[in-house]
Amino acid sequence: DGGITQSPKYLFRKEGQNVTLSCEQNLNHDAMYWYRQDPGQGLRLIYYSQIVNDFQKGDIAEGYSVSREKKESFPLTVTSAQKNPTAFYLCASSINAHQSYGYTFGSGTRLTVV
Amino acid sequence: EDKVVQSPLSLVVHEGDTVTLNCSYEVTNFRSLLWYKQEKKAPTFLFMLTSSGIEKKSGRLSSILDKKELFSILNITATQTGDSAVYLCAVISVTSGTYKYIFGTGTRLKVLA
């Protein structure tokens, strides 16, 4: 079955450490996205990628980095520069960024800083 | 600044009740409005609304868009405990040919048996 796989589901990080969240899709979608979800707030866009080897900052990119070396994969690194990284992170994909087909979401990764 | 506002933020009802969830928006270059249901993890797609006044239905759920008043409602009739979830509203805007999604905060619905 086609879909998006995020791993791990739960992640604990010590302060000062970088951590990478995985997002893989087999939908042959061109566009991929990373969102952060905090209680009482909507999904906020961190980074997005419209095509391989290209990505753009979203609304809250500070303290995060991404890469898009393969169409199927869009990993997100939460760096030590992110001041408040504890959150639920959702990865999504769409056929492309130029048509409104809607997103397919992964199941999310809950990151906790300890 | 583009924004999407959902109300109420949370709602508790009993099985069999009918609920109406609201989504208002102020977005430039509006393209579509989407509703998602998020139970614990991945939001799942419910409806995409592009035209004003046309109701979309799926079982006990229905939704309609008013592009003049800039809002949408999601109705759930004869609610069941399985309807308990966070319902997300998102508006798609188009800038320089690129589609951008703006999400609301969500409405948390709890249906009691």
What would the pLDDT profile of A58-77 be if each residue is shown by its tens digit? 989 999 999 999 999 999 99
Instruction: Give the pLDDT score at A102.
Output: 75
pLDDT confidence of residue B42: 83
CA distance A32 to chain B (A): 12
B100 φ, ψ to 5°?
A: -120, 135
Provide the token pair at B60.
Answer: 């006990």
pLDDT in tens, B6-17: 999 999 999 999
* Residue B59 reports pLDDT greater than 90: yes
CB pair distance less than 8 Å for A103 and B101: yes
Nearest CA to B101 among B40, B21, B20, B29?
B29
Of B23, B56, B105, which to mutate for an interface test with A (greatest number of A Cβ within 10 Å)? B105
The whole-angstrom distance between A44's CA and the closest CA on chain B is: 7
Whole-number Å distance between alpha carbons of B63 and B76? 9
Mean pLDDT value of segment B55-76: 96
Greatest distance between any 2 Cα atoms in chain B: 48
Q: Judging by beta carbons within 10 Å of its beta carbon (0-12, 13-18, 19+), is residue A93 exposed, middle or buried?
A: buried
In this complex, the residue of A4, A44, A102 whose CB is nearest that of residue B48 is A102
